[in-house]
Amino acid sequence: MPRIDIFSCEPFRAWNRLEARPRHAEFDKVLEADVHDALWMLTRQWQFGELQGEDTGSAIFSKIYMKTTAITHVKTANGKAQPFDDSIPLEERIESMPYKLDFKSKLEAAYIFLRCLDRAGENANPVVPNASKLYKPNLIKKFGIDEIAPVQNGDTNATIIGKVKSLSNDNYVNMVNASAGRYFDGAKLYVAIIASQVNAIAAISLGGDTPLLTAAMNDFVAWYQKNYVFSSAESSAWVPSKLEYQFNCALPAEDGNNIVLSADQYYSGDLDWFSMDVNKVETVEGISGAADVGDMLNIKEQLLSVIPVEAKFAGAPNSRFWQFEDGKVDLGNINAQTTDLSKLVFTEYALMYNTDWLLVPYGVPVGTLCEIKGIIVTDVFGQQFFVQSATQGNTDNWAGWGMYNLSTVNPDGARNVPTDTRLLVLPNVVKNLESEPAEEVFFVRDEMTNSIWAIESSVGDELGSNTDGHNSSRSFTEALKAVDTTPVTNETDVDVMFRYTLANTVPENWIPFIPVHSDELNRQVKLQRAAMPRLFNNEFTHIRPVTQLLREGIAGDDDEKAKAYFINEEEIPRAGVQLSATFQRTRWYNGAVINWYGYRKQVGRGEGSSGLYYDRVDAVKK
């Protein structure tokens, strides 16, 4: 018994630490953890009810009944339904946008055609060495590059503005003038070949060389289309009024109709299952309705027999008694707050339920919608269990959330509808290379002027790179002022106390979008692209955007023939929008190198102020 302290009446407790005293140099026998009386341990387990569990058996065998259906057609927002094939990734088919070649790309195309001529000359019979040198004079004569002429007396205001736009870029002017008379435009050559290869051959032929030029032009066209010919705006999935991609996919179903998967708000550049919804509302032309007989062959069923294995990950607790976990992953050191739901869910799974999960390997074909009809698991005692989906999509409880479920859009607009528990595996890119933004625009709200401003923060420099939009606008404005003949009043020569300003202006890379009433809906508004006035030589002209991101409805370089461009008002939140255009490159699983030029939308940097004002009176400082 412990001693009692007579002053505090508290027992005096003394503890002795018991430690093992090994008598042998080797620890093998101790670490074996031998059980000398296994029968006694079994009886104790029975006494405490440990043998009454229903999950004591380990899974040893499983059968899975799978059903898959493949994507048969794809329809973009602006195009027609097309048969689907997995020779290219879905991103290239959806995101690809037309690209206007810069001057450097035109020179590169010309260089490639000269190399095609040399290759064709080496394979010709008889051999034509250095064929590029023979045909280069004719190419320069027919598809030559003109110098950028300076501003001259007699030029119209529109001509002067067009020239100054080029002359304000010194590097571009030097490159063009250095190439004039020495090189040719590869883009003009490609257009001529596409229009009529016979006429293009006749334009540069030296006589009796049609096979050589035909082979060179065929190689050149194949290279050009692979690197520079992307989807046209008429067939793309880009919806300018929503600043998003929209497309639909069709898959045959068991009942003979098509399953329609819709992506109505894809803009992030990360295409995956979460971008798609099962569409049961609208009829999509070309893919809705009954599936073709040939499409029904894409529905496949398979009964798979496998041996399940434990789900493993870095830092997972080991099931063996004397096997220690990797110390590089410290799951106990995870700092999770009450709002970090995903982190808490993962930690609970890793520390408590890891050994309850098994993996059944099954290769799901790319571009398919996979459904598990059922799983039969056989344990070591010979018992069989039929496993179904945990929620079957029939619950709105947050605890029934499923990772890869697809949302369902129903005709009646009902809420809490069952989700689709099938697994969608899209033919999307796992990893790709993305360039710096070739063009970049920031949409910001300006509450003082009650408008939206599209700020061209990055524009192309015609030399294969981009330049700061603010610096480019400033250089153009200063170059235009140098040739402006509009009279300027000198305020110091006038004895006045106040100065009245009708309106000021903003930098030319700030493009306004003003609210207008929607058609037949006076209480709803949309944003229409407007234009700030430019006063040059005592004449007003419109300031138009430079980037292709904002030149919707503006054909070519004629800024005065611009069609109205509208953006839905809800697409520009108070946080703003960052819209960028980039080149992307990937290697597909068939080994082909795929290039495309696409757009991406991200959250902006908040509101802004243009500083635009009207009807202002200021005191004149003397």
| Every domain of the chain and the residues it spans | 3-47, 73-98+233-291, 103-145+181-227, 433-619
Task: Grade residue 400 by pLDDT with cuts at 50, 70 and 90.
Answer: low
Task: Grade residue 9 by pLDDT with cuts at 50, 70 and 90.
Answer: low
pLDDT for 7: 56
Q: How far apart are CA 149 and CA 163, in angstroms?
A: 7
Selected residue with higher pLDDT from 117 and 430: 117
pLDDT for 120: 92
- Residue 495, pLDDT > 50, answer yes
Q: Tens digit of pLDDT for each residue in 238-254? A: 999 999 999 999 999 98
- Residue 153, pLDDT > 90, answer no
The set of residues, in sequence order, having a beta carbon less than 8 Å from that of 164 and lying 6+ positions away, is 151, 476, 479, 480, 483
pLDDT for 1: 47
Bridge partners, 528 (sequence order): 514, 566
Q: How far apart are CA 74 and CA 286, in angstroms?
A: 9
- Residue 21, pLDDT > 80, answer no
Q: Span 431-459, mean pLDDT?
A: 92
Q: How far apart are CA 492 and CA 489, in angstroms?
A: 9
Task: Grade residue 70 by pLDDT with cuts at 50, 70 and 90.
Answer: very high
pLDDT for 6: 56
Share of the chain above pLDDT 70, in %: 88
pLDDT for 142: 93
- Residue 561, pLDDT > 90, answer no
Return the top range by mean pLDDT from 328-337, 414-423, 526-535, 613-622: 526-535
Q: How far apart are CA 584 and CA 432, in angstroms?
A: 7
Please work out, in degrees rounded to the nearest 5, the angle formed at the alpha carbon of residue 380 by the alpha carbons of 377 and 381. Answer: 100
DSSP one-letter string for 344-387: HHHHHHHHHSGGG-EE----PPTTEEEEEEEEEEEETTS-EEEE
The set of residues, in sequence order, having a beta carbon less than 8 Å from that of 414 and lying 6+ positions away, is none
Please classify residue 150 by burial: count the beta carbons closer than 10 Å to its beta carbon, then call 0-12 exposed, 13-18 middle and 19+ buried: exposed
Q: Kind and range of the H or E element at 42?
A: helix 38-47
Q: Span 128-155, mean pLDDT?
A: 90
- Residue 384, pLDDT > 60, answer yes
pLDDT for 424: 92
pLDDT for 279: 87
Determine the distance from the C-alpha atom of residue 456 to the mean position of all C-alpha atoms in its chain, rounded to a whole number: 20
- Residue 317, pLDDT > 80, answer no
Contact 168, 476 (CB under 8 A): yes
Q: Span 300-316, mean pLDDT?
A: 84
- Low-confidence winner among 6-20, 262-276, 601-615 (lowest mean pLDDT): 6-20
Residue with tokens 């505090």: 8
Q: Span 219-239, mean pLDDT?
A: 84
Average pLDDT, the chain: 85
- Residue 416, pLDDT > 70, answer no
Task: Grade residue 22 by pLDDT with cuts at 50, 70 and 90.
Answer: low
Return the top range by mean pLDDT from 33-47, 489-503, 512-526: 512-526
